[in-house]
Amino acid sequence: LPDASAKRLRIVIVGAGFGGIQAAKGLHHAAVDVILIDRNNHFLFQPLLYQVATAALAPTDIASPIRSMFAKQRNVTVLLDEVEAVDPASRTIQLHGARTLAYDILVLATGARASWFGHTDWAEHSLGLKSLADADVLRQRLLGAFEAAESSCDPAAIASLLTFIVVGGGSSGVELAGSIRDLARYTLKRDFRNIDPEKARVLLFEGGPNLLAGFPDRLAAYAEKRLAALGVELHTGVQVEHVDADGVVAGGAHFPGKNIFWCAGVAANPAASWIGAETGKHGTILVGQDCTVPGRDDIFAIGDVASFTDVEGHLLPGVAPVAKQQGAYVARVIAARARGAAAPQAFKYNDQGSLAIVGRSSAVASLPHVKLTGFVAWVMWSCVHLVLLAGLRNRILVYVQWVSAWLFNARGARLMIGNSTSPK
């Protein structure tokens, strides 16, 4: 038991994503006080965000109230607030509205956001997908495009409204493109009288030679075959050179389309500038083998906001398992410090593989010892994501909706709220 007269360490964790949540949970039995700060009141299960954007799931199905996740862990205080600055010298952070807060150890887990890499005009004409608010906007645009097409009498306008351009062929872009095509082909099949939703075009642009960079070539080739069979028009090895309200220019050719969805890049959320840290790719904080910022053993950075290069020289990817494992690791380091014990060995990422859905009832799974495709991979994808979701309630709700979608092609979350019924 901690000596009651000794001051307990105060750990401030900024960001309640996969990394921040895991760090706070890992400190359950440590004699420390944890303050977990997020600007949202919910933890978001990002891997299923595209299903909210395409009306397959409700926002609440993939979001869990942070407070209820820590209701029983009494050493955690949750703050709904935004960090504006950090003063590493005095070990204080400044919150929105000039309130300050002292820390003994700071864990930066602020994650990443969509990035258009300086093309601010492209950002105006295309929609990113990183938050629930983004997913709401994307869904309204998607459903609104079909509505506007149904009301239109101009064949050119209808064609443009029913063209969906997805930029970026990583898992997010692949899953989004497949899901839109699926929605058009199956879910909306009988719902309109003037348009044929089946005729909706989905164009997927990827600058690299293959979709799903990071997956083995055989799986990437399978994904391309499946998406093409579903009717997604693939443009790989083609750079998008321009984006405006009427479409994109790629490889010198103009592709008209009213709906442009941006899955081509992310950048770290602000945090490096708070502490004047050296930055890696896309504004990430370079960290050492113990996830601390070099020269500051009281500041950790984990997950998408951090750049971690392992002893073999590999930069770890910006995926949920890295963030979770780093969160758990940092909790062990902090708990050891609080006990006065020796620090654990350097962080080592245990890569358990990657999964991606490619259209209806099909997926690719790249696991350490086996590569799977098709229905088997899809069943595995479904089970893994159900297990990873937070809470029994959300698991049951998502399961019911997947079964209903699979059996009846129904998507119940086809909700447009407000009057944003048509694309700009």
- Residues with a catalytic annotation lie at 175
Q: Does 98 bind its own copies (CB under 8 A)?
A: no
Can you tell me which of 5, 7, 156, 190 binds its own copies, judged by CB under 8 A? 190
Q: Does 11 bind its own copies (CB under 8 A)?
A: no
DSSP per-residue letters across 71-128: TT-TTEEEEE--EEEEETTTTEEEETTS-EEE-SEEEE---EEE--TT-HHHHHHSB-
Can you tell me which of 209, 376, 410, 420 binds its own copies, judged by CB under 8 A? 410
Can you tell me which of 27, 49, 63, 243 binds its own copies, judged by CB under 8 A? 63
Q: Does 64 bind its own copies (CB under 8 A)?
A: yes
Q: Which residues pair with 259 in a beta bridge?
A: 164
CA dihedral 91, 97, 98, 100 (to 10 degrees): -30
Q: Does 418 bind its own copies (CB under 8 A)?
A: yes
Q: Does 143 bind its own copies (CB under 8 A)?
A: yes
Minimum Å distance from CB 393 to its own copies?
4
> Which residues, other chains included, contact 281 with Cβ-Cβ below 8 Å and sequence gap of 6+?
307, 315
Among the residue ranges 1-9, 40-48, 231-239, 318-326, the one whose residues contact its own copies (CB under 8 A):
40-48
Q: Does 421 bind its own copies (CB under 8 A)?
A: yes
Among the residue ranges 33-41, 264-272, 274-282, 345-353, the one whose residues contact its own copies (CB under 8 A):
33-41
Q: Does 84 bind its own copies (CB under 8 A)?
A: no
Q: Does 94 bind its own copies (CB under 8 A)?
A: no
Q: Which residues pair with 107 in a beta bridge?
A: 13, 300
Minimum Å distance from CB 407 to its own copies?
10
Cα–Cα distance measured from residue 40 to residue 20, given in angstroms and rounded to the nearest whole number: 13
Q: Does 79 bind its own copies (CB under 8 A)?
A: yes
Cα–Cα distance measured from residue 146 to residue 76, given in angstroms and rounded to the nearest whole number: 46
Cα–Cα distance measured from residue 382 to residue 372, given in angstroms and rounded to the nearest whole number: 14
CB of 343 closer than 8 Å to CB of 331: no
Q: Does 68 bind its own copies (CB under 8 A)?
A: yes
> Which residues, other chains included, contact 7 with Cβ-Cβ below 8 Å and sequence gap of 6+?
none
Site residues (CB under 8 A) for its own copies?
Answer: 39-42, 58-61, 63-65, 67-68, 71-72, 77-81, 132-133, 136, 143, 147, 150-151, 188-193, 391-394, 396-397, 400-401, 404, 408, 410, 412-419, 421
